[in-house]
Amino acid sequence: MSVRARMEEKLMAALSPLHLEIEDDSGRHAGHGGAAPGGESHFALRIVAEAFAGKSRVERQRMVYKVLSEELAGTVHALSLSALAPAEAA
Average pLDDT on 50-56 reads 98
* Cβ atoms 65, 29 nearer than 8 A: no
H/E run at residue 6: helix 3-15
Rounded CA-CA distance 44/20 in Å is: 11
Query: Residue 19: which pLDDT band, with cuts at 50, 70 and 90?
Result: very high
* Cβ atoms 42, 28 nearer than 8 A: yes
Rounded CA-CA distance 89/77 in Å is: 27
CATH number at 3-88: 3.30.300.90
- pTM of the predicted structure, to 2 decimals: 0.86
Q: Where are the domains of the chain?
A: 3-88
